[in-house]
Structure 1
Amino acid sequence: MSLEQTLSSLPKNPGVYQYFDAQGRLLYVGKAKNLRNRVRSYWRFTPTLRPNPDQSPRILKMLHEAASLDYLVVESEADALILENSLIKQLKPKYNILLRDDKTYPYIYLDESQDFPRFELTRKVVRGKKIRYYGPFPSGGRALLDALYALFPLVQKAGCLRGKKACLFHQIGRCPAPCEGKITPDAYRQGVEAAKEAIHNLPLILKRLEERMMQLAEQERFEEAAKVRDQIEAIRGLEIRSEIDLAREEDYDIFAIDPGKDRGVVVRLFMRRGRITASSHSFFRHTEAYEPEEAYAQALLDFYREEAPLTAATILLPLALEQREELEKVLSRRLGRKIRILHPQRGPKAQLTRLALTNAAELLRRETSPTVTPIENRIAELFGLERTPWRVEVFDNSHLMGEAPVGAMVAWDEGKWAKNSYRRYRLEARDEYHQMMEMLQRRIGDFDKEPPPDLWLLDGGETLRRLAEDLLRQAGVNLPVLAIAKEKLDAKAHRAKGAARDLLHGPAGTLHLDPKDPRLQWLQRLRDEAHRYAITYHRNKKRREDRQVALLQTKGIGPATLKKLLDCFGTFKAIEKADFNTLQKVVGPTMAKRLIESLS
């Protein structure tokens, strides 16, 4: 169906629409309360179909590239908002801003239903009738928790309550020993209340820690003093000093976004009981695609998730959102309580939003380095990438003549290895092409949980790069793919000889860079880390399989039987899980019985 035909048949339901270019690449994802009215507002229909000149330059540029349109109908505008945010993260459209996903921050929580409650850290909702949360604490949460246990008479370890005898913590005066009945629940609660007050009074905690550090230093306990010093620095990082005077002790989350020129930042301030107790920020990159309303909606939807605790029901923003009501509905439904989004224009609340904007501008100023061009920018320029590849995922596979095939993915994020994102894959395929296909398909299947990066890099040639492009195109994902491979000498790639050079395969063709070129060396560094991670996994897997082979051979199960089993089941793990009836169909009842006995 042509673009004009789709425009003429749009329904009046709420939904999400997607513009594609002539090659089928996704350009833009938007949402609408009324699809027909919203999408048709982009166009003029007489004398011929053409973009509406009243649109922003960014949208006009997108419309001139648009060749087709698709849409999805949903139940409500709130549902459209959620779906739009999800599709933007999964599919990375060219003209949508893409903020970095907010990680889940830790909270300190207290279960006040217990006789002797303890403060604990959590990143998820803890079920209970009398759970109280403090935070979030993007940094310094662990240091603050440790300080509470160092400064107040609390049960130091969860296991202490299960014991029947006072431990060392009681002897050094840090635990009141409820395990021996040396304190009543009411008396213990006084210490808990003092600790609760201290969480909202960081200067008090810092003062007491500094006194403790000086005492330890005077006693020449320098290692312990150094640990307290590190605690102080971590907790001090939670503070943003503010002279803003609120008439009441209220809780607010304050968000501010400064887009900068090509690098933006999201700042979050967390005010509890009238004091700013913590802050966080995250940088993002954008092109001409920045749109304030879209950016703030993404920031809120990414931060407030179902599994995260919430301690503030009011969110302050430095601008008014047209979709405020829909966002409030979505967040209230997610978090199980009434959420308000406010745009204060005067008074202390407006001062808070200005404080957040000031901090955002200062963060960008500190990060700006006009004399040094990041290597990621140079890679984007070299290959003509639409986005700077701040996050890169690198893939490699490893096997020994088809045995113990494994795959590995490593991730590079904002100048460092993101080791929490490393992934290992057990593969079934026996050739490198299908091994890479299997690994990439599984990664694409996880895009709804872990959004795609800015770039994929494969250890391989143009054939594997085109395979990745085809898989991404089938999934509707905009993601550039590069491949790096050894130049072949005499039809072979000689890694050890040093004469062969690496070739870079990109969308525009193959590049030969000088071995001393920093851009090539950076890509080689990424490739080598993926290769190291893959080969380590392969060796460990092969070693385990060799032990299993040796064990089975001692039980009289020979190589021919093993080959038959592996050809049928694929892996030793699958053989272990097979029951007697399944095994006897492959190797007969006698051998099946022997296998069951050996593997058990």
Structure 2
Amino acid sequence: MSDPASTKTLTGYDLIASYLRTLDASPGVYRMLDADSRVLYVGKARNLKARVSSYSRPGQHSGRIMRMISETASMMFLTTRTETEALLLEQNLIKQLKPKYNVLLRDDKSFPNILVSKSHAYPQIKKHRGAKKEKGNYFGPFASAGAVNRTLNQLQRVFLLRNCSDSDFETRTRPCLQYQIKRCSGPCCDLITPQDYARSVANAEKFLSGRTKGIQEALAAEMNAASAEMEFERAAALRDRIKALTQVQTAQGINPQSTAEADVIGLHINGGQACVQVFFIRANQNWGNHDYYPRISGEEDASVVMEAFVGQFYSDREPPKMLLLSHGLDNEDLMAEALCEKAGRKVEITVPQRGEKAELVQGALRNAKESLARKMSETATQAKLLKGVAEAFELESVPQRIEVYDNSHIQGAFAVGAMIVAGPEGFEKSQYRKYNIKGEDLTPGDDFGMMKEVMTRRFQRLLKEDPERKSGVWPELLLIDGGAGQVSSVREIMEKLGVGDVPMIGVAKGEDRDAGKEVFYRTGKPVKALRHNDPVLYFIQRMRDEVHRFAIGTHRAKRAKAISKNPLDDIAGVGAGRKRALLAHFGSAKAVARANLADLKAVPGVSGNMAQTIYDFFHENG
């Protein structure tokens, strides 16, 4: 319910007081909105009437809350059965609506896991990010893709598990390079028995579960036996596997003895900014750490910031068995109950004061303090660079959001557009966007046409989602990779869309296409160059290099996906078994596509109807 008729001309304390007669003591969630119906704040309450009443009394609030109340033009309420439900709903709404006055977790990417896939007779070990839909055992989370890749690299050397896709596995007729460099046992070519491979999989899972001692002892015994039997090459291979296993354990750093599974969360606040460090402890192993910089006003207590972080961080993640925090929560019991309900098991929240757990928290706090100091230093430098850009190119204001665009293709094939974003806090990678070029009437390699398509799609979406330009996602400066032609082409499309007021600069390689000799094109202004050692020039070069990197990476991923795609995967009813039979019979997917109906029917396991389906697929599609 919201906005009684009598509140329409009221604001601030008077408006909030006018809602009290419509509320009761139910638990629930409330939203404060401004005159433009933008959500200012989302909160939860055990007793809605009591909580809202606290906002209606002047003289007992911080400056931040007073500003929020003064901007409030309407409120919305939603009752829940329990306060726990209200807490969960509150955190979901905060992440979805990103209210101005809430503590907000800005970096919300998912963390990678290691997956031992069980959908195949010879399980594959690989990195996995996202929903856990694939059949298999998941181990994680790891703090970064780099941490996963390093661990996978060493695990392959120790346990010799395959990392190839199922389609690659089915089509191999001889071992790949991974086998040659002793990082795979060659199950694709029956170079290991199913029983021995299954034993390796089991050992890998034991290691990822923290049970490593028995594995090392077994490998050592096997190495000694091979040496005694004068099988020195095999003994050397086993020695290398033991060494790789030791390297994994060493790379993990401090591995706690008494803490099997926990997230260690340290919070440091300074100068109106906050840093949260999260260390992931799983199977008594340190699987890395990640830092966060939640948006705060600087007036909140550490307990408020920590509670907001914990609630939002675990709103779409499974919590571990234990949270070790540097600061307590105002509603610790309620948060523990909410996390228990989410996980379907006990979740303990504690602020340790002594022992190993306290040392872990101190380590997280130390990292948070150092990371925030670096961040504040970088932010100050970034602010100077943005101011320098405004002065160098005579902008009306210092740009808070710069969007940089580039295209990548090979003679028009696998064409993609890329956009990166830079602002006061550096590169904002969560804001990066990629565009698959869709224009069918484009001439292959038409960079002007590709850029026009990207800019059209970008600004049409902005005009649809935020025509008033109030959400903070509109660019205050565009950097286009190109010269006068590109600038003219993009300006034309922007004028047509009615957004020609957005400043734009074309960055072109200068004489001999050397870095440092760039020239800059602007509509209606002379060509400009910056002095060779100007920090602003280096800043623009970094942005251009970053958009190149992102565009090329996106293009390569698209090209690799197209190259590795097997057309048999798109045929309804053709699973791994039938695909294996077809490839064994014909030798390649291309040969299957050329086969006649009678030959397809001769393949073991392919019925007459399925043969017709396969034949029709290739002949109707090409």
Same fold (TM over 0.5): yes
**8 Å CA contact retained: 2:261, 2:284:** yes
Q: Please point out which of 330, 345, 355 is paired with 1:322.
A: 330
Deviation, structure 1 residue 269: 0.7
Instruction: Go from structure 1 to structure 2 and tell me whether the alpha carbon gap of 1:419 and 1:43 turns closer, same or farther (over 3 Å shift).
Output: closer
Question: C-alpha separation between the residues in 2 aligned to 1:105 and 1:275?
Answer: 16
Q: Secondary structure at the match of 1:373?
A: helix
2:155 alignment partner in structure 1? 148
Instruction: Tell me the matched-pair count.
Output: 449
2:28 alignment partner in structure 1? 15
Q: Please point out which of 434, 439, 458 is paired with 2:461.
A: 439
Deviation, structure 1 residue 38: 0.6
The letter for the 1-side match of 2:358 is A
2:298 alignment partner in structure 1? 288
Deviation, structure 1 residue 424: 4.6
Answer with 356-365 or 176-185: which moved more.
176-185
**8 Å CA contact retained: 1:316, 1:342:** yes
Greater relative contact order, per chain length (Cα 8 Å cut-off, separation 6+): 1
Within a 5 Å distance, the mapping from 1:430-469 to structure 2 comes to 438-443=460-465, 456-457=475-476
The letter for the 1-side match of 2:164 is K
2:234 alignment partner in structure 1? none
Instruction: Go from structure 1 to structure 2 and tell me whether the alpha carbon gap of 1:238 and 1:443 turns closer, same or farther (over 3 Å shift).
Output: farther
Question: C-alpha separation between the residues in 2 aligned to 1:16 and 1:58?
Answer: 20
Question: C-alpha separation between the residues in 2 aligned to 1:270 and 1:115?
Answer: 31
Once the two structures are superposed, residues 38-86 of structure 1 have per-residue CA deviations (whole angstroms, 9 ceiling, x without a partner) of 1211343xxxxxx242x344324544x3453412213243443344334
Question: C-alpha separation between the residues in 2 aligned to 1:147 and 1:421?
Answer: 32
2:525 alignment partner in structure 1? 498
1:357 alignment partner in structure 2? 365
**8 Å CA contact retained: 1:153, 1:176:** yes
1:258 alignment partner in structure 2? 268
Instruction: Go from structure 1 to structure 2 and tell me whether the alpha carbon gap of 1:58 and 1:519 turns closer, same or farther (over 3 Å shift).
Output: farther
Instruction: Go from structure 1 to structure 2 and tell me whether the alpha carbon gap of 1:518 and 1:358 turns closer, same or farther (over 3 Å shift).
Output: closer
Instruction: Go from structure 1 to structure 2 and tell me whether the alpha carbon gap of 1:69 and 1:78 turns closer, same or farther (over 3 Å shift).
Output: farther
Q: Secondary structure at the match of 1:265?
A: strand
Q: Please point out which of 312, 321, 325 is paired with 1:313.
A: 321
Q: Secondary structure at the match of 2:293?
A: strand
Would you say 1:422 and 2:433 are equivalent positions?
yes
The letter for the 2-side match of 1:34 is N
Deviation, structure 1 residue 182: 5.0
2:199 alignment partner in structure 1? 190
2:485 alignment partner in structure 1? none
Question: C-alpha separation between the residues in 2 aligned to 1:348 and 1:336?
Answer: 27
Once the two structures are superposed, residues 500-534 of structure 1 have per-residue CA deviations (whole angstroms, 9 ceiling, x without a partner) of 99xxxxxxxxxxxxxx998999799989999xx99
2:126 alignment partner in structure 1? 120
The letter for the 2-side match of 1:144 is T
**8 Å CA contact retained: 2:157, 2:182:** no
Q: Secondary structure at the match of 1:315?
A: strand
Once the two structures are superposed, residues 307-329 of structure 1 have per-residue CA deviations (whole angstroms, 9 ceiling, x without a partner) of x5x48332222222233344345
Answer with 291-300 or 117-126: which moved more.
291-300
**8 Å CA contact retained: 1:484, 1:527:** no
Deviation, structure 1 residue 189: 3.4
Question: C-alpha separation between the residues in 2 aligned to 1:499 and 1:258?
Answer: 48
2:592 alignment partner in structure 1? none
Question: C-alpha separation between the residues in 1 aligned to 2:292 and 2:105?
Answer: 9
Deviation, structure 1 residue 107: 0.4
The letter for the 2-side match of 1:287 is S
CA RMSD of aligned residues (A): 5.6
Query: 5+ residue gaps in structure 2?
Result: 1-6, 220-243, 391-397, 407-415, 440-451, 479-489, 506-520, 552-621
Deviation, structure 1 residue 292: 3.1
**8 Å CA contact retained: 2:252, 2:285:** no
**8 Å CA contact retained: 2:326, 2:361:** yes
1:39 alignment partner in structure 2? 52
Query: 5+ residue gaps in structure 1?
Result: 45-50, 209-230, 384-388, 398-405, 470-481, 487-493, 502-515, 535-599
Q: Please point out which of 109, 112, 129 is paired with 1:106.
A: 112
Within a 5 Å distance, the mapping from 1:25-64 to structure 2 comes to 27-44=40-57, 51-53=58-60, 55-63=61-69
Question: C-alpha separation between the residues in 2 aligned to 1:338 and 1:435?
Answer: 47
The letter for the 2-side match of 1:498 is K
Question: C-alpha separation between the residues in 2 aligned to 1:174 and 1:521?
Answer: 42
Deviation, structure 1 residue 108: 0.3
**What's the TM-score once normalised by structure 1's chain length?**
0.58
The letter for the 2-side match of 1:353 is V
Within a 5 Å distance, the mapping from 1:139-218 to structure 2 comes to 139-159=146-166, 162=170, 167-168=175-176, 169-170=178-179, 173-179=182-188, 181-199=190-208, 200=210
2:76 alignment partner in structure 1? 71
Once the two structures are superposed, residues 150-196 of structure 1 have per-residue CA deviations (whole angstroms, 9 ceiling, x without a partner) of 23332353447536855255566544444555544443233234434
Question: C-alpha separation between the residues in 1 aligned to 2:419 and 2:172?
Answer: 49
Once the two structures are superposed, residues 558-582 of structure 1 have per-residue CA deviations (whole angstroms, 9 ceiling, x without a partner) of xxxxxxxxxxxxxxxxxxxxxxxxx
1:386 alignment partner in structure 2? none
Within a 5 Å distance, the mapping from 1:348-427 to structure 2 comes to 348-369=356-377, 373-376=380-383, 392=401, 394=403, 410-412=420-422, 414-416=425-427, 418=429, 421-424=432-435
Q: Secondary structure at the match of 1:108?
A: strand
Once the two structures are superposed, residues 285-340 of structure 1 have per-residue CA deviations (whole angstroms, 9 ceiling, x without a partner) of 5433544344334433443354x5x4833222222223334434544455555434
1:225 alignment partner in structure 2? none
Question: C-alpha separation between the residues in 1 aligned to 2:148 and 2:72?
Answer: 50
Q: Please point out which of 90, 114, 121 is paired with 1:84.
A: 90
Question: C-alpha separation between the residues in 2 aligned to 1:520 and 1:26?
Answer: 39
Q: Secondary structure at the match of 2:264?
A: strand
